[in-house]
Structure 1
Amino acid sequence: MDKTLFEILACPLCKGGVRPDKERQELVCRPCGLAYPIRDGIPVMLEGEARTLTADERMDEAP
């Protein structure tokens, strides 16, 4: 995905920024603890399609 796309994408719940997780093909929203899938290069920014980060993943996300 184009890097500039990440600058304009926002979490649909909190309107915060998302960061790419290339390994898992997801966009991660740290404040909400959600990961939105990227399917065929298209981000699926729907709450119903997002998965909740595990406690371990949330710990890995800490600054």
Structure 2
Amino acid sequence: MTSRIDPVLLAKLVCPVTRTPLRWDDQRGELVSEAAGLAFPVRDGVPVMVVREARVISSE
């Protein structure tokens, strides 16, 4: 399930909600927006930056 994301691409991507940088979660294979509390999936190496596809993360 773990896929990789190009570091150059990661440096250019921002959260579509807050416009803040994203963090790569290697274990889950997701792009995480700490500011929005959302995790965006990466499918077949392609980030899915659609809010309705994002998983809400807890603020623990």
The bucket for the TM-score relative to the shorter chain is 0.7 to 0.9
Aligned residues: 56
Alpha carbon RMSD of aligned pairs, Å?
Answer: 0.8
Aligned partner (choices 10, 23, 29) of residue 25 of structure 1: 29
- TM-score scaled by structure 2? 0.87
Structure 1 runs (4+) greater than 2 angstroms displaced? none
Flag the structure with higher helix content. Answer: 1
Question: Highest relative contact order (Cα 8 Å, sep 6+), 1 or 2?
Answer: 2
* Long gaps (5+) in structure 1: none
Percent identical across equivalent pairs?
43
* Long gaps (5+) in structure 2: none
2:8 counterpart SS class: helix
Mapped pair 1:5 → 2:12: no
Which string of whole-angstrom CA distances, capped at 9 and with x for unpartnered residues, describes residues 22-61 of structure 1?
A: 111100000100000011111000001001002xxx32xx
Mapped pair 1:14 → 2:18: yes
- TM-score scaled by structure 1? 0.83
What's the CA shift for 1:4? 1.0
The structure number with the bigger radius of gyration is: 1
